Amino acid sequence: MDHVPLRHETFRPGGALKKTTAALLVVAAVLAAAGVEIWTARRRAGFIGRENGPLARLIDASRIGEQTALIASKAHRAGTEANAEVAGFVGERLQRAGLKVWNTPFEAEVYESLAVRLSLEERGEKKAYDLSEPGDGEPAFLAYSPDADLAAPVVYANEGSRGDYELLRKKGIEVRGKLALVRAQGICRSMKTEIAGSRGVAGLLVYPEPRDQGDAAPAFPDGPNTPRWAIPRGTLLRFYRYPGDPSTAREKGIDNLPPVPALGVSQAVAEDLLSRMRGDAVPEPWEGWLKVPYVLAAEGPRVRVVVKGQLVRKNLRNVFAILPGRNGNARPVMLGNHYDAWERGAVDASSGTAVVLEVADALAKLRADGWRPERSILFAFWDGEEAGIFGSARWVEQALRDRFPGLAAYVNVDSAVRANDFVGDVMPGLRASLGRVLAVVRDPATGKTLAETHGAFQLPSFSSDASPFIGLTGTPVAEVGFGRHYPVYHTRADTVEWIRRFGDPGFARAALLARIVALYVGWLATDPILPYRFSEVSDDARKSLRQLESRVASFGEWAPFTRSLRDALDSYEAMARRWDGEERRLANLSSKKVREAAPLVEQAMAAFAAGGRGRPVSYGRGSVLIGPSEEDRCDAEAHASLVDAVRSRDSVAMRAEGDERARAFIQAQQLLRAAEWIAIGPGGPDRRTRN
């Protein structure tokens, strides 16, 4: 849109905000000199208590519904005119909220499908399978598939994991040169192609297994489940190797294209293929709910697959808005969401886009009512996430090139409501604060607080816009939403009608999510001393070490290599618990002490970034606390590079990984100690000082 100023994709917190910062510092100094205690306990601890009520009134479920409907009114894949219109709408809405808005265009190689065909080529019978879906939209395809025109027999391979192919091998079933019919769920799509390639599989047919939906409800539109005609879409790019388009990956010497062709097929097609297979019954976990026997087929039906596409350079764009904080030197908090989608993508991620817009609007209104956050809040609407996490990766890389000092936190909202249960995938350090927000919001169905009902926090994955932040930097990250799976994911049935009737009637949970996110982001931005819970980091590290102990029988052999880490962890943990226990006292500090201690607290958490600032790290190794897991590289594992070193019994790597963590824990401990010295005084654990 033309009235949103276009800017080069950089963000320098010092620049535009410097003047106001200087002015605010003068004011702060005057107030401090006058002995005014700005940060009284009530004010500081109070963002949640103070703003929960107002936010509940400001956030409007029906408006979230209307905006979701507007964004999801057309298919809006990255690189299409329809998606550019969504960007325009997002920008206008942010401007109407009174925020400063800009967008940053970038070029990317987008995949355009030219042909997808599947036909049965049995001796006695030939027929073309129907790969169309009713209604308007684009034909289904799996993006970035290599071109193919091949005929081969199909075997059923469950979810297409290493273990699945291993089982087939043990049963004497050769998969080399064949097509594998695999469930859409389980390990991620890109991982399925990587493993298939390593096994010599000729290509994949991916279908949505009804059993993976958890219950046997009727199919949409009669019920919430996947229609028999629905075909799953998605990217095949191996974004866990590098998030970004193939050309940018190539420039870095990385091949993130899939090794084998793949196409999505409906349950109707999968059922027909399965019905033509003969063999022994599958093990129970491989069983599905299609009305045919699932068998280990030595030689399945022969089909012909045609896949053809092209890579086209397109202009994509990220849209940003800023709600300025009072301190331009404090690390900002960023809240992000992707606005591109497969088909209409009402759930994924139009509902999330509408939620983040509602949060931006509500926080802007609080600001108009006098709320002044300490740190700026950046709102990011990413393009090209579905194609391969393009937009967020671009921003993170540019921020690294610009020596951007970092974010206090990155909060990601993808699909707002997939199912009923609250899900938080949160880095250690940011969990207690989210937990406190969940303690003040109630589930509309049960009346219980979400703190009572939600499951344990898990780590963010490497398959959404959160991943460049953990893959390339040490940014503390939280991903929030309701539910992990939903039956119409990435199909033409992901519509507002599905949400209204089944997914989130009345958009009640979407509105609840908006309030949670507004409270969380608002609180993180308000408190000059970030409410990080430092002991979560050491608890997580101890848990990883314990798991390694139980997994690796010869633990004693490698334990010496991680001695430095254990020692560092002991002293860090003592410091972290002391700091975490001082919350009350920290809430009563003078503004002078707050200003001196706050940056040290930011830096203490940033100590867990791998490598030095500006020193490039290989993708997935940005944080020492998290990395892609060996089993499914779209998933995360705590201390992955240490785990990898132990798993491969590489003593040099074990020592290096142990030492790197030891350095991070020591650095964090020293920074916290300095913050404690400033805030509380130089005494030991029992010290008492006046402010």
Task: Summarize as ranges the residues that interact with Zn ion (CB under 5 A).
Answer: 348-349, 414
Least Å from the CB of residue 177 to Zn ion: 34
Residues 6+ apart with CB under 8 A from 131: 116, 117, 118, 139, 140, 231, 263, 265, 266, 269
Nearer to Zn ion by Cβ, of 78 and 575: the residue is 78
What 3-state DSSP class applies to 529? coil
Spatial separation of the C-alpha atoms in residues 390 and 339, rounded to whole Å: 12
Least Å from the CB of residue 383 to Zn ion: 12
Spatial separation of the C-alpha atoms in residues 21 and 15, rounded to whole Å: 10
Nearer to Zn ion by Cβ, of 70 and 574: the residue is 70
Least Å from the CB of residue 677 to Zn ion: 45
Written as one letter, the residue type at 415 is S
Sign of the dihedral defined by the CA atoms of residues 180, 194, 235, 633, in that order: positive
Tell me whether residue 58 is exposed, middle or buried, using C-beta atoms within 10 angstroms of its C-beta: 0 to 12, 13 to 18, 19 or more.
Answer: buried
Nearer to Zn ion by Cβ, of 341 and 512: the residue is 341
Least Å from the CB of residue 366 to Zn ion: 28
Least Å from the CB of residue 245 to Zn ion: 17
Nearer to Zn ion by Cβ, of 78 and 408: the residue is 78
Nearer to Zn ion by Cβ, of 345 and 522: the residue is 345
Least Å from the CB of residue 388 to Zn ion: 12
Nearer to Zn ion by Cβ, of 78 and 334: the residue is 78
Least Å from the CB of residue 596 to Zn ion: 41
Give the β-pairing of 477-482 and 262-264: unpaired
Nearer to Zn ion by Cβ, of 393 and 601: the residue is 393
Least Å from the CB of residue 338 to Zn ion: 6
Least Å from the CB of residue 349 to Zn ion: 4
Least Å from the CB of residue 185 to Zn ion: 15
Least Å from the CB of residue 490 to Zn ion: 9
Angstrom CA distances, 110 to 237, 257, 643, 681, stand at: 11, 12, 35, 57
Nearer to Zn ion by Cβ, of 260 and 466: the residue is 466
Q: Would you say 490 and 234 are in contact if contact means Cβ atoms under 8 Å apart?
A: yes
Tell me 80's DSSP state: S
Least Å from the CB of residue 444 to Zn ion: 24
Tokens 């949400």 belong to which residue? 499
Spatial separation of the C-alpha atoms in residues 348 and 572, rounded to whole Å: 40
Written as one letter, the residue type at 234 is G
Nearer to Zn ion by Cβ, of 349 and 437: the residue is 349
Tokens 């400033």 belong to which residue? 678
Find the DSSP H helices in 527-650: 535-551, 555-558, 563-580, 583-586, 591-606, 640-647
Nearer to Zn ion by Cβ, of 479 and 660: the residue is 479
Nearer to Zn ion by Cβ, of 161 and 464: the residue is 464
* Listed residue (240, 229, 162, 245) closest to 201, CA to CA: 162
Least Å from the CB of residue 341 to Zn ion: 7
DSSP codes of every residue in 447-481:
--BHHHH----B---SSSTTHHHHHHS---EEEEE
* Listed residue (383, 365, 354) closest to 323, CA to CA: 365
Nearer to Zn ion by Cβ, of 51 and 348: the residue is 348
Residue 408 CA neighbour count, 13 Å, CB half: 34
Nearer to Zn ion by Cβ, of 414 and 443: the residue is 414
* Listed residue (424, 422, 417, 386) closest to 486, CA to CA: 417
Sign of the dihedral defined by the CA atoms of residues 643, 644, 650, 655, in that order: negative
Q: Would you say 329 and 13 are in contact if contact means Cβ atoms under 8 Å apart?
A: yes
Nearer to Zn ion by Cβ, of 159 and 414: the residue is 414
Residue 542 CA neighbour count, 13 Å, CB half: 12
Least Å from the CB of residue 385 to Zn ion: 6
Least Å from the CB of residue 357 to Zn ion: 16
Nearer to Zn ion by Cβ, of 374 and 425: the residue is 425
Spatial separation of the C-alpha atoms in residues 50 and 228, rounded to whole Å: 49
Cis-peptide into 221, omega within 30 deg: yes
Tell me whether residue 310 is exposed, middle or buried, using C-beta atoms within 10 angstroms of its C-beta: 0 to 12, 13 to 18, 19 or more.
Answer: exposed
Least Å from the CB of residue 461 to Zn ion: 11
Q: Would you say 513 and 355 are in contact if contact means Cβ atoms under 8 Å apart?
A: yes
Written as one letter, the residue type at 345 is G
Residues 6+ apart with CB under 8 A from 341: 72, 75, 76, 77, 83, 348, 349, 350, 386, 494
- In the chain, count of helices (H) and strands (E)? 24, 18
